Amino acid sequence: MAEEYKTYVASEMLTPEGKDDLTTGEIEALGTFLAVNVVGGAWATMDEWGKGSLMDESNPALSSYMQSNLWNPVRHDTTIRGRPRGQYTNIFGETKTSTGAMQWLDLEYLAAQGVVGEHFLPQPPSHAMQRTAEWMRLKRVRQIWQEALQAFHWGRFFVVTQD
């Protein structure tokens, strides 16, 4: 199910970086059931929730991110803006240096004009992970269980006795 979920999510994502940023975890026994997770990094997160002025502000982790040292301190809204001069840590955990030459400037606007790179363009959210999880929860998991019940030779594991 995890691989099917991952494949379907990737097919619904808007960016190749988001698709390539998904990994399947190990299967764990948790009490009476098995669990496995599909995890995405920064690229998958930006694909899922969008970026810049088009991002979905209902993201439950957005507030924490905006209050962290990863958020551009001169970015008072979701518009992608130039950073102040100095070193900073980007969303990928990399240390970068800004010249400060574009501090406060709307980099989304400048990208649309071709002045700066396209990577500064805003991106709408795909919500691929959320939609796929809902579809799996409502429909696909039941189908998978029914297929397993019909295909598995349960008789090999039951012994009929008379009382």
For the segment 39-60, what is each residue's pLDDT rounded down to a tens digit? 999 999 999 999 999 999 999 9
pTM above 0.75, yes or no: yes
| The amino acid at 84 | P
Burial class (CB in 10 A: 0-12, 13-18, 19+), 103: middle
Residue 74 CA to its chain's centroid (Å): 25
For the segment 83-111, what is each residue's pLDDT rounded down to a tens digit? 999 999 999 999 999 999 999 999 999 99
Q: Is 49 helix (H, G, I), strand (E, B) or coil?
A: helix
Write down the domain spans for the chain. 1-50+125-163, 69-123
